[in-house]
Structure 1
Amino acid sequence: MKVKALSRSTTEFTRETKSDIQKLPRNIDPELHPLERAREYKRALNAAKVERMFAKPFLAGLSGHIDGIYSMAKNPWDLDNIITGSGDGELRMWSLTAQETIWRAPEAHRGIVKGVCNVPGNESDRFLSVGTDKTVKVWSRSESAVAADGTTPETVATYNGKHAFSGIDHHRHRPIFATSSSLVEVWDVERSEPVANLTWGADTINTVAMNQAEVNVLASCGTDRSIILYDLRTSSPLAKLVMALSTNAISWNPMEPFVFATANEDHNVYTFDMRRMDHATNVLRDHVSAVMDVDYSPTGQELVSGSYDRTVRLWNASSGHSRDIYHAKRMQRVFCVKYTLDNKYVVSGSDDSNLRLWRARASERVGIKSNRERATIEYAEKLKDRFKYVPEVRKVLRQRNVPTMIKKASQTKQVMLQSRKRKEENQRKHDKHDTKPRVPERRKAILGVTTK
């Protein structure tokens, strides 16, 4: 005689602790849930509303500088520290956790501090700064006497140049660094003179950026509207790209070594692939004034930019429009921005002498999350991504309150772009031979490319 017994596991319907929620049996048969899509749409709309309701990106304003902040560097071996340089020659090191100054040099340079960078190494406590006083100075964080009596600490080393410096960056692991002035100079920390001079053109170089992944590649941009790539192994240029307007800053993608982003005077951020520079891989166009600085997130998937229009914008690297815009009533023109290395925060420095700390995700909250809370957040993100093109959800997700000046300037810029397109179409329509070619947006700002 065959006997069939019902067998079920107690773990399927019992709780581990008395604080757990009751487990309910669920049947996922779609025939039993005819309104599934309608319910998910409602949940997506509610999730979008909750995101905007809890969006409070501003965390802290760190005051202390007397003049504007024009240079900034993050420490790859310390998440908490940010170094800033101001227009009156002062250097400060900040603790983002304590939100206070932990090191300062009141008269580090005679004139504006144009660039700062950290010396690599897990045990290194040194960093470099350059200014318009034609000097490169090496500082040590262990010099803490300045906090007590207000005097400038002694430098570890000083390098004298022939021209006013405009930027600096250090090699990933070798004891060399590069500076920009009227030319790009490569220095060895053990020598008082540059070991290599890199030139291609005669105009001033705005900034210099070393690739931290493909460590033998160096990029610079100048006032002659050029972007030049150099090879440190041969001390020779690789390629030169000429834009319609000059570039203010360069940032290399930490996850894709051949990709870099540039902040341009034409209100746009351009991303390029150094293997094929005859066109931009993407054009990010939402700012209404010159973009002064740009930085990649540690994941390489997002960008942050600071502009002369007094705003900070965050972008998805694959999108053409910003996903968020940050502004403050007293924040003036933004000259430097950085993503923190935990991908959670953004730091901006402006010429109102304040350093500001923002959330990278405006509605995200810090702290340990339970499994249920994390699953709920991930489910809400999936729903918003699934229904992001539905008009009601899209309207809520894109709604931003921006200053009147930004809104009016954006509307004016849009009218100008539409007028320009309409003019070009009319010219083609009434041209007998239709000789005017259609130029893609990613090639319009590029005037020429030269390789060696």
Structure 2
Amino acid sequence: MKVKVISRSTDEFTRERSQDLQRVFHNFDPNLRTQEKAVEYQRALNAAKLDKIFARPFIGAMDGHIDAVSCMAKNPNYLKGIFSGSMDGDIRLWDIANSTGSERTGGASETVIAFFFFLSCFRYYHFDVYLLVTTFVGFGNVIEVIRRTVCRFPGHQGAVRGMTASTDGRTLVSCGTDCTVRLWNVPVATIMESGNLSDCSSEPQAVYMGENAYWAVDHQWSGDLFATAGAQVDIWNHNRSQPVSSFKWGTDSVISVRFNPGEPNLLATSARLRVVRAKVYDILVFVHAMHVCWGFSYSSLVSDITYSRTLRAGDRSIMLYDLRVSSPARKLIMRTKTNCISWNPMEPMNFTAANEDCNCYSYDARKLNEAKCVHKDHVSAVMDIDFSPTGREFVTGSYDRTVRIFQYNGGHSREIYHTKRMQRVFCVKFSCDASYVISGSDDTNLRLWKAKASEQLGILLPREQRRHEYNEALKKRYKHLPEVKRIVRHRHLPKPIYKAGVLRRVMIEAERRKDHRRKAHSAPGSIVTEPMRKRRIIKEVE
């Protein structure tokens, strides 16, 4: 009798160590795996649920400013450093790596706080106990701030409106409402290694005086020039006390400036019309009407004023400048103000504008008459925007007290971050390694977030890395199925933001229905519905 025996090599199944994994053989024949799609779908569903369970994006808050954080700047030559400026003129350098997870000093003060908290349960001690607890808590926070703030600069006499670092990271350029531009020396290596609070410099390296307040500043990606925005756009050199060149187009006040990462001589700005008093404006309009109707002449003071609703709303424009020529290149006039601009570092011809109408608009600098994409979801004005170094996504901060992360070509946000204590967000930045997001808000704090809410920090084992990649591939394959899509898209929102979003969608839908009915009861071709990509654009000027 012949018996067939399954022959197995002992070397293939014997483990060298007890910690080694047992070898498992898989047969990938589709005829034997009839439930492959169902199994993968269930794994994708479980991966989506696990992402929600482990979504802990908030890492820590960095407090120390005594007024609202107005601007931030990254150090391109040092990964851990981040600069922040506040409305009271204070400038600080933070070490992101060592600013979280620090122990709280002053254990005796914690005991006193607990004792007074026990007394606060009684009615007669409430007011005095509140003052004492506030004092001790403030003392504890001061000690903690000293550990987190690496360097503190004297700053400005007024609000700090813009900051940028040089290419080598050794010089910090700041500007403010005190009409000055200041250059600071940043000894990064010495300070970061010591980890102690210190005054970096009692005096700035250089101070450049201007005639008007400055609202923004940006440095070339490769070069020694930097640009300031205010009543006009000024180009400065580190070694000269006067602007190398100046650009001005109309009467707009420039509030944002950004250099192109691919072309050092190209920069983009956003502007707003200067405020004109209502009575003065009405007089100018009346004089202009007299001139149009009866031919009356009027002085040269109002000769450039044109009566139009667009002007009264404001010439809110986006302008492109080329340093190689003496005049601006192009100008895009929009219906609403653009608060900030950010170039895509991987696609230098594209930039995204954070607008006052709660949306962000991505443009191609070669074709400004139409937006490439409209990014929605905010329910209030978008105050700041910054691209990831990878160029695949960007982060926005809004007046609605939220931070959102968008795909570079996505119409809706991928992630939304918010806390109970975070107020209006004035500035946001991506870290230089695209792993973290830093936000500065009206409550005087900087907050550190993970770019991916459920990302596991630290070094991953090879098996863990492969498992994460497998789960991401499953979620990407089954993201359009209802159950997976519902879990991935679900976010917990504060009630005011949720209600504002619902109201905004109702208003947009009502406007759409009204346009549809108006078009249905009009002559064919008399009403043309503009797409959202063109609706906010008035005209392009060259």
Q: Distance in 1 between matches of 2:199 and 2:467?
A: 51
Q: Assess, with a 3 A threshold, how the Cα gap between structure 1 residues 7 and 254 changes in structure 2: closer, same or farther.
A: farther
Structure 2 residue 228 is matched with structure 1 residue 179: yes
Q: Give secondary structure in 1 for the equivalent of 2:67.
A: coil
CA deviations on 1:279-332 (whole Å, 9 max, x unpaired) are 111110000000000010010000100000000001111110001100010000
CA deviations on 1:397-438 (whole Å, 9 max, x unpaired) are 111111000000000000000000000000110102341112
Structure 2 residue 94 is matched with structure 1 residue 94: yes
Which amino acid in structure 2 is aligned with residue 131 of structure 1? G
CA deviations on 1:101-146 (whole Å, 9 max, x unpaired) are 11112x411110000000112xx521110000110000012397xx
CA contact (8 A) 1:185 1:198 kept: yes
Structure ranking higher in helix proportion: 2
Match of 2:380 among 282, 285, 289: 289
Q: Assess, with a 3 A threshold, how the Cα gap between structure 1 residues 306 and 9 changes in structure 2: closer, same or farther.
A: farther
2:465: which partner in 1? 374
2:139: which partner in 1? none
CA contact (8 A) 2:151 2:198 kept: no
Trace 1:142-221 onto structure 2 (pairs within 5 A).
142=187, 153-221=202-270
Structure 1, 79-88 or 234-243: larger mean CA deviation: 234-243
Structure 2 residue 152 is matched with structure 1 residue 104: yes
Instruction: Give 1:161 shift.
Output: 0.9
Q: Assess, with a 3 A threshold, how the Cα gap between structure 1 residues 426 and 171 changes in structure 2: closer, same or farther.
A: same
Match of 2:518 among 405, 427, 432: 427
Q: Distance in 2 between matches of 1:370 and 1:25?
A: 22
CA contact (8 A) 2:186 2:200 kept: no
Which amino acid in structure 2 is aligned with residue 109 of structure 1? H
Q: Assess, with a 3 A threshold, how the Cα gap between structure 1 residues 211 and 12 changes in structure 2: closer, same or farther.
A: farther
Trace 1:306-317 onto structure 2 (pairs within 5 A).
306-317=397-408
Structure 2 residue 35 is matched with structure 1 residue 35: yes
Calculate the aligned-residue CA RMSD, in Å: 2.0
Q: Give secondary structure in 1 for the equivalent of 2:41.
A: helix
Q: Distance in 1 between matches of 2:430 and 2:12?
A: 44
Q: How many residues align?
A: 442
Which amino acid in structure 1 is aligned with residue 439 of structure 2? S
Which amino acid in structure 2 is aligned with residue 283 of structure 1? V
Unmatched segments (≥5 aa) in structure 1: 1-5
Q: Give secondary structure in 2 for the equivalent of 1:52.
A: helix
Instruction: Give 1:70 shift.
Output: 0.5
1:336: which partner in 2? 427
Q: Distance in 1 between matches of 2:337 and 2:7?
A: 74
Q: Assess, with a 3 A threshold, how the Cα gap between structure 1 residues 190 and 413 changes in structure 2: closer, same or farther.
A: same
Structure 2 residue 437 is matched with structure 1 residue 346: yes
2:175: which partner in 1? 130
Q: Assess, with a 3 A threshold, how the Cα gap between structure 1 residues 148 and 397 changes in structure 2: closer, same or farther.
A: closer
Instruction: Give 1:185 shift.
Output: 0.5
Structure 2 residue 168 is matched with structure 1 residue 115: no
CA contact (8 A) 1:346 1:357 kept: yes
Q: Distance in 2 between matches of 1:10 and 1:187?
A: 75
Instruction: Give 1:384 shift.
Output: 0.7
Structure ranking higher in strand proportion: 1
Trace 1:241-390 onto structure 2 (pairs within 5 A).
241-390=332-481
CA deviations on 1:188-208 (whole Å, 9 max, x unpaired) are 222111111111121110111
1:56: which partner in 2? 56
Q: Distance in 2 between matches of 1:424 and 1:10?
A: 77
Q: Distance in 2 between matches of 1:252 and 1:269?
A: 13
CA contact (8 A) 2:151 2:200 kept: no
Q: Distance in 1 between matches of 2:387 and 2:59?
A: 21
Q: Distance in 1 between matches of 2:402 and 2:492?
A: 12
Which amino acid in structure 2 is aligned with residue 444 of structure 1? R
Which amino acid in structure 1 is aligned with residue 430 of structure 2? Y
Unmatched segments (≥5 aa) in structure 2: 1-5, 100-147, 273-314
CA contact (8 A) 2:149 2:197 kept: no
Q: Give secondary structure in 1 for the equivalent of 2:427.
A: strand
Q: Give secondary structure in 2 for the equivalent of 1:222.
A: strand
Q: Distance in 1 between matches of 2:466 and 2:198?
A: 52
Match of 2:319 among 224, 228, 233: 228
Q: Distance in 2 between matches of 1:102 and 1:18?
A: 47
Which amino acid in structure 2 is aligned with residue 200 of structure 1? W
Q: Give secondary structure in 1 for the equivalent of 2:31.
A: helix
Q: Distance in 1 between matches of 2:158 and 2:448?
A: 26
Instruction: Give 1:173 shift.
Output: 2.4
CA contact (8 A) 1:241 1:449 kept: yes
Q: Distance in 2 between matches of 1:16 and 1:315?
A: 48
Which amino acid in structure 2 is aligned with residue 96 of structure 1? I
Instruction: Give 1:9 shift.
Output: 9.0
Q: Distance in 2 between matches of 1:36 and 1:249?
A: 49
Q: Assess, with a 3 A threshold, how the Cα gap between structure 1 residues 409 and 11 changes in structure 2: closer, same or farther.
A: farther
Q: Distance in 1 between matches of 2:462 and 2:533?
A: 43
2:298: which partner in 1? none
Q: Give secondary structure in 2 for the equivalent of 1:32.
A: coil
Q: Distance in 1 between matches of 2:253 and 2:331?
A: 15
Q: Assess, with a 3 A threshold, how the Cα gap between structure 1 residues 422 and 160 changes in structure 2: closer, same or farther.
A: same
Q: Distance in 2 between matches of 1:7 and 1:78?
A: 60
Which amino acid in structure 1 is aligned with residue 149 of structure 2? T
CA contact (8 A) 1:134 1:161 kept: yes
Q: Percent identity?
A: 47
The alignment's TM-score, normalised by the length of structure 2, stands at 0.79
Q: Distance in 2 between matches of 1:293 and 1:197?
A: 25
Q: Give secondary structure in 2 for the equivalent of 1:79.
A: coil
Q: Distance in 1 between matches of 2:39 and 2:509?
A: 40
